A and B are shown apart, each in its own frame.
Chain A
Amino acid sequence: MREGSATYAELYADYHEFGAIALFNTAFFKESFPQVLSGVPLTLGLSLASILAGIILGLLIAAIRIKNIFFFTGVSKVFVSFSRSVPLIVILYVLCYAVPQLTSGGGGQGQSGVQISPNLIAIATFGLFAGAYLSEAFRAAYYSVDSGQKEAAISVGLSSFQTFRRIIVPQAIRSCLPNFTSVFIDVIKGTSIVYNISIFEIMGKANLVGSRGYRYIEAYSIALIIYLVICFTIYIIFKRLELHLSKKY
C-alpha cells in the first residue's frame, strides 16, 4: 500500500531536499486537478448503479419484513444486521474472492474459477450496503404513514393495491427522503475505497497523481474539493425535493 509506506521522515526529507519547505505546491495542484477530476464519471457511475441496486434490494427486504414471510423475515434480519456491521472494505474483499474461489474447485492459485469484473464487485458491495440501510428507511417510512389513511381508503372503496400505490407510496417517499439522501451520500463516500481492487475513480486517481513526487497533500486536497462539491450538490438537490413535497404534505 503506497500511502502507508510513506513515513513522515521520508516526506520531510523530500521537501527539505528542494531547499524551500513547500507546504503546498499550487502549480502542481492546478495541473493535477483535471487528472483527478477524470475519476468523477467512474465514482458517479458506480454510485448510481449501486444505489439503484440498493433501492431494489431495500424494497424487497422491506416488503419481506413488513409482510412477515415466515422463513425469509429471519433471513432478512440476519442479512441486514450483517451488512450494517461489517466494514465496506471487508465486504469488498469477501465479494472479490467469493465467486472466483468458490468456483475454482480448490485446485487453483486463485486465478482459476469464474472471474468477475471489479466494477461488478464494487456495485455488489455498495448495493448490499445501501440495500440493508435503505430497507430500514423504507420500513420506517411505511409505518410512518398514518393508519387513518388506510381506513379512509377502505371507506371510499380503494383496493389494497390502489391504496398502496396512490396513497401510501407518495407519503412514504416523502418520509424516507432524508434517510435516502444520507445513504446515497454514504455510498458516494464509500466508493473511495475501490482503488484497492484496481478501479480508478477519484481516490484512485488522486493516489496516482500524488505518488508522483510525493505530492499527496495537494492530490488529496483536490480529491477533497471534488467530493465536497459532489456531496453538497446531491444534498441540495434532495433538500429541494423535500421542501417541494413538504409544502403540500
Chain B
Amino acid sequence: MQNSAFSIHFVVNSLVTLLHYVPITLLITALSICLGLVLGLFVTIGQLVPNRVLNGLSIGFIALMRGTPMLLLLLLIYYGLPLLLQSFAIDISGWNQVVFAILALSINISAYFSETMRSAYSAISADQYEAGLSVGMSNKRIISRIIVPQATAIALPNIGNSMISIIKHSSLVYAIGITDIYQQAQTVASSTFGMRQLEVFVAVALIYWMICILVERIIAVIEGRFSYLR
C-alpha cells in the first residue's frame, strides 16, 4: 500500500478500468452527433425558407437551446417526455435511458449545428449561385456541387468544436442513470475510501482529453481535404 499523496500507478490502474466504458461514451456521442446534424439541417432549412412561422419557430428553438443548461435539458426530457407522450396515449416507459440521453444531446447540439450551417451557407456569396445559373446548372446541382462543398469547408472548424462539446456534455448522463466513463470514475473513486479519488479523476480527464485530441486530428485531416478551397 503506497502512502504517498499521489500515485501515478493508481492513475494507470484507473485508466485501464475506465477504458472499458469508453465505448458507451463514444456510442452515445456518435449517435448524438449524427442525429444532431440531421435535426440541425431541418432547423437551418426552417430558418431559411420564406415561411414566417417556420422562421420564428427555428429562431425560437435555437434561442431556447442556447439558454438551457445541458443537464437541465437532459433531466427535463427524461422526466418530461414520457409524461408528455402519455397524454397522447404513447407509452415509452420501457425505453432505455440511453435513448433519452441521445435525444437530449442531439436536440441541444442541433441548435448549434444549425447556426453553423446557416452562417456557412450565408457566407457563400450569391455570385457563386449566379455563376452556376449562368452556365446552365439546375438549382439542385448548384447547391450540391458548388454551394455545399464550399459551405462544408467553412463550417468544419465549428462543427469540430460542437463535436467536442457533445463529448463533454455526454459526461452528464450520469444524472439519468447511465454509467459512462465519468460515472464509472465516481464509482471507482468512492471505492478507494477517500484516498485515491484524485488519481481516478485525473485518469478520466486524460481519457476525455485523448478522445478530444483524436477528434480534433480527424477534423484537421478532413479540413485538409477541403484546403483546395482556400
Q: Could you list which residues of chain A lie within 8 angstroms of chain B, going by C-beta atoms?
A: 1, 3-9, 11-12, 15, 21, 23, 81-82, 84-91, 93-94, 97-98, 101-111, 113, 185, 189-190, 192-193, 203, 216-217, 220-221, 223-224, 227-228, 230-232, 235
Residue pair B198, A97 in contact (C-beta under 8 Å):
yes
Looking at B33-41, B49-57, B66-74, B127-135, the stretch in contact with chain A turns out to be B66-74
Which residues of the other chain, A, contact B70 by a CB distance below 8 angstroms? 189, 192
Residue of A nearest to B176 (CB): A4
Which residues of the other chain, B, contact A1 by a CB distance below 8 angstroms? 174-175, 177
Residue pair B2, A81 in contact (C-beta under 8 Å):
no
Residue pair A94, B198 in contact (C-beta under 8 Å):
yes
Query: B220 in the interface, Cβ–Cβ < 8 Å?
Result: no
Residue pair A101, B5 in contact (C-beta under 8 Å):
yes
Which residues of the other chain, B, contact A221 by a CB distance below 8 angstroms? 76
Cα separation A135 to B67 with both chains bound (whole Å): 23
Residue pair A87, B71 in contact (C-beta under 8 Å):
no
Contacting residue for B75 out of A102, A111, A220, A235, CB 8 A: A220
Looking at B140-148, B189-197, B221-229, the stretch in contact with chain A turns out to be B189-197
Query: B43 in the interface, Cβ–Cβ < 8 Å?
Result: no
Contacting residue for B83 out of A103, A217, A224, CB 8 A: A217
Contacting residue for B93 out of A12, A103, A220, CB 8 A: A12
Cα separation A227 to B64 with both chains bound (whole Å): 10
Which residues of the other chain, B, contact A109 by a CB distance below 8 angstroms? 193-195
Query: B4 in the interface, Cβ–Cβ < 8 Å?
Result: yes
Closest CB in chain A relative to B57 CB, distance in Å: 16
Query: B3 in the interface, Cβ–Cβ < 8 Å?
Result: yes
Residue pair A81, B209 in contact (C-beta under 8 Å):
yes
Q: Could you list which residues of chain B lie within 8 angstroms of chain A, going by C-beta atoms?
A: 2-6, 63-64, 66-72, 75-76, 78-80, 82-84, 86-87, 93, 164, 167-172, 174-178, 182, 185-186, 189, 193-195, 197-198, 201-202, 204-205, 208-209, 211-213
Residue pair B71, A97 in contact (C-beta under 8 Å):
no
The 9 nearest A-B residue pairs measured at CB: A110-B194, A85-B212, A4-B177, A231-B67, A87-B171, A192-B69, A189-B69, A87-B168, A106-B3
Which residues of the other chain, B, contact A88 by a CB distance below 8 angstroms? 168
Cα separation A235 to B198 with both chains bound (whole Å): 37
Which residues of the other chain, A, contact B4 by a CB distance below 8 angstroms? 106
Closest CB in chain B relative to A155 CB, distance in Å: 32
| B interface SS class | helix
List 25 A-B residue pairs with CB atoms under 8 Å apart, sorted by A's residue number: A1-B177, A5-B177, A21-B86, A23-B86, A23-B87, A84-B164, A85-B168, A85-B208, A89-B172, A89-B182, A94-B205, A98-B198, A101-B197, A102-B6, A105-B5, A106-B195, A108-B194, A109-B195, A110-B193, A110-B195, A111-B194, A193-B71, A224-B76, A227-B67, A227-B69
Residue pair A87, B169 in contact (C-beta under 8 Å):
yes
Closest CB in chain B relative to A77 CB, distance in Å: 12
Residue pair B79, A216 in contact (C-beta under 8 Å):
yes
Which residues of the other chain, A, contact B169 by a CB distance below 8 angstroms? 87
Residue pair A86, B205 in contact (C-beta under 8 Å):
yes
Cα separation A9 to B53 with both chains bound (whole Å): 38
Residue pair A224, B198 in contact (C-beta under 8 Å):
no
Evaluate whether A86 and B72 lie within 8 angstroms (CB atoms) in the complex, with A97-B198, A106-B2 already known.
Answer: no
